[in-house]
Amino acid sequence: MRNLKIYIAYDGSCYHGWQRQENNITVQQVIEDTLLRILGERVTAHGCSRTDAGVHAREFCMTVRTDNPIPCPGLVRAMNGQLPDDIAVKSCEDAPEDFHARFSSKGKEYVYIINTAPVRDVFANRHALHYPHPLDVPRLDAAAKLYVGERDLAAFCRAESLAQHKTTVRTVYSAGMERCGDRVTFTVSGSGFLHHTVRIMVGTLLWINEGKISEDNITKAFAAGDRELLGVTAPPDGLYLNKVLY
């Protein structure tokens, strides 16, 4: 049986996240239904991450096991010919037997895009957070560095999801914020993240910018595991899974 390593990109605006759900349309469902038509067999697409509703992916890895001998270039063409316009297959290759999109990953990099222009960009409403306020990027870049290191992310997790994790400790490799014109980008990479972690990181930086909390709250939240010390959970629109590290 072949183990296919497939990279896709998708606009998550119209989907209820990656993982298949009974009553909602998801990226996994669309992918698996497309593969059924092409391969003639029902397969499971194992994703590298469980992105939330409305979250996008520039580089999402999945693994698929199949007995079908279709060459990888042919599978890429066939899938892109049948998938909707908001999902694209970037590449496909035969992977080692023990490779798994999720469990073989060494980490992930996310970006969050903020549009600071006075007037919202109607063509980017679902692809960036419109934040038409002064943003102290150098200060927030310095605050973002407090995320880096081996951290207990309990405070940076949706409360209802905490019980799903055996441990809430992760290593954040890098974090920072930079500006290019009206566009501000927060980038963070790490060994893994919990449910809503990156969105809470962004919301916390925005509250620091607004003077609602101080940078010290980040350190205190890591120590106490207290979600109340941090900012709001930023909307999903501006969040992208940027790359997966193997």
Ordered by where they begin, the domains of the chain are 2-94 (3.30.70.580), 107-245 (3.30.70.660)
pLDDT of residue 207: 98
Distance CA(230)–CA(68), nearest Å, equals 49
pLDDT of residue 79: 98
- Per-residue pLDDT band for 161 (boundaries 50, 70, 90) equals confident
pLDDT of residue 54: 96
- Per-residue pLDDT band for 14 (boundaries 50, 70, 90) equals very high
> Among all chains, which residue has been given the structure tokens 């959970």?
233
- Per-residue pLDDT band for 222 (boundaries 50, 70, 90) equals very high
pLDDT at 162 over 90: no
Distance CA(185)–CA(78), nearest Å, equals 34
Task: For 45-106, give the DSSP string.
Answer: -EES--PPTT-EEEEEEEEEEE-----HHHHHHHHHHHS-TTEEEEEEEE--TT--TTTT--
pLDDT at 223 over 80: yes
pLDDT at 153 over 90: yes
What are the CB-based long-range contacts (under 8 Å, 24+) for 32-36?
A: 34/79, 34/82, 34/83, 35/64, 35/66, 35/79
- Per-residue pLDDT band for 52 (boundaries 50, 70, 90) equals very high
What percentage of the chain has pLDDT greater than the value 90? 94
Mean confidence (pLDDT) of the chain: 96
pLDDT of residue 165: 80
pLDDT at 166 over 90: no
Q: What is the mean pLDDT of residues 167-196?
A: 97
pTM: 0.94
- Pinpoint the alpha helices (H) of the chain: 27-39, 72-82, 137-144, 197-209, 216-224
Q: What is the mean pLDDT of residues 172-195?
A: 97
| Residue 86, φ and ψ in degrees, nearest 5 | -95, 10
Q: Tell me if 83 sits within 8 A of 11, measured CB to CB.
A: no
Distance CA(154)–CA(165), nearest Å, equals 10
**Beta partners for residue 5, in sequence order:** 63, 93
pLDDT of residue 120: 93
What percentage of the chain has pLDDT greater than the value 70? 100
Q: What is the mean pLDDT of residues 109-116?
A: 98
**Which residues have a catalytic role annotated?**
52
Q: What is the pLDDT of residues 81-95, one digit of tens each?
A: 999 999 999 999 999
- Per-residue pLDDT band for 159 (boundaries 50, 70, 90) equals confident
pLDDT at 163 over 80: no
pLDDT of residue 81: 98
pLDDT of residue 158: 87
